Amino acid sequence: MPFRPHALVLLAAALGWFSGPAVAQSTEYKVVDAADLSVSARKYADRDIEVRDVRCYYADIGDYRCVTRESVSIFAASIAPLEAETAIKDNCDAIKVALTSPKCRVALRFRYSAEQVGHDIISGYQKRTVIKTGMVRVGFARKR
């Protein structure tokens, strides 16, 4: 019987002996309107979501705050990619700037758990949904 090296390679691969380059897995993000998050944030927990038309600013080291037109705020410890983090730090370091500058308007992609959802009262009467998450991925809004 002739020696067949490719059969040995196939067997080794099947047994997991090779730890070749990791294959990137694509993540599907569900686009969620901020109004839906405001009403039922727990519904989207443990899912990869994208929220558009969000305004983000650099509040402090390890503290990024993102607000929407609805009563939803997303607090993140970090922003990816690094270029987006740098842009937010350099251009969006105050809430008034974040609310008015197109440089601070982003789309957020993230995942959170039900335990990371909370509510508070702002301005004495308005209920706000707060999602505290570790990391968000930022995409900047396109110019139209």
Q: What is the pTM of this model?
A: 0.76
Q: Is 15 domain-assigned? A: no
What are the backbone dihedrals phi and psi of residue 95, each rounded to the nearest 5 degrees, phi first?
-65, -40
Q: Is 70 domain-assigned? A: yes
Taking only the tens of pLDDT, the chain with its 144 residues reads 554 444 433 333 444 443 444 444 557 999 999 999 999 999 999 999 999 999 999 999 999 999 999 999 999 999 999 999 999 999 999 999 999 999 999 999 999 999 999 999 888 888 999 999 999 999 876 544
Domain hosting 43: range is 27-140
Beta strands in the chain (DSSP E): 30-31, 49-60, 63-67, 72-80, 105-110, 117-122, 126-140
Both tokens assigned to 12 = 């080794």
Which CATH number covers residue 52?
2.40.50
Please state the domain count of the chain: 1
Count CB-CB contacts under 10 A for residue 109.
18
Q: Is 116 domain-assigned? A: yes
